[in-house]
Amino acid sequence: MARSPRSSSAQDGFLLPLSTAASLLLMLSSLSLQAVALQSRSQVIAGQRLRQAEDQLMSGAQHLVADPLTVDQLPSRVGEAGQVGSAAYRLVKVQGPNWQEPAEAGAPQRGQVVATLELLASAEQRRPLQAAFALELARKGLAPAHLVSLRELGLRGRPAAVGAP
């Protein structure tokens, strides 16, 4: 039997909106996937910039304490700026030294100074970031203190907008 022309046009009228809706759905899902990929990429880039800033601050801290005389003079150097490579930093705060009593007679006395450095704003890092560093010190008797170790205590006052990966 032959189909009537009327039923064929009714089917065509039904299929056209269905195919249009399906193509719109595919296009929206494609745009959603692209938005997710771009969001993920921006988070990765923000994480890389944050790690780079932490590395620059650690380099600044190492540069700051490279001179053995600076350990005793750190409190007087607050506000002093320095530069390592393209990164400029500033010493913003010093806490300590806090000395512990020696464990046994004749043993060196241990102490700690907490220094906070700020990575100054640049084209790559728009917001200044701060990190605290613990300087472990030792001294014997009245001898000047010498640096035993330097370790990062982490970023301070990091805005939530910077975001980590």
Name the 3-class secondary structure at 9.
helix
β-sheet bridge partners, residue 131? 117, 155
Burial pattern 108-140, b for ≥16 Cβ within 10 A else e, equals bbbbbbebbbbbeeeeebeebbbbbbbbebbbe
What local confidence, expressed as pLDDT, does residue 70 receive? 64
47-96: per-residue pLDDT in tens? 888 888 888 888 888 888 777 666 777 888 888 888 888 888 888 888 88
First to last CA, the chain: 66
Q: Which run of H or of E encompasses 57?
A: helix 5-64
In a 10 Å sphere around its CB, with 0-12 CB exposed, 13-18 middle and 19+ buried, how is residue 28 labelled?
exposed
* pLDDT given for residue 135 in this prediction: 87
Residue 160's pLDDT band, with cuts at 50, 70 and 90, is: very low
Ranking 91-95, 109-113, 119-123 by mean pLDDT, the lowest is: 119-123
C-alpha–C-alpha distance, residues 71 and 64, integer Å: 9
Give me the residue spans of the domains in the chain.
Answer: 54-156
pLDDT, tens digit (0-9, with 9 covering 90-100), for 93-108: 888 888 877 767 777 8
Question: What pairs with residue 151 in β-bridges?
Answer: 134
Rounded Cα distance between 117 and 7, Å, is: 79
How do beta strands 87-99 and 129-139 pair? unpaired
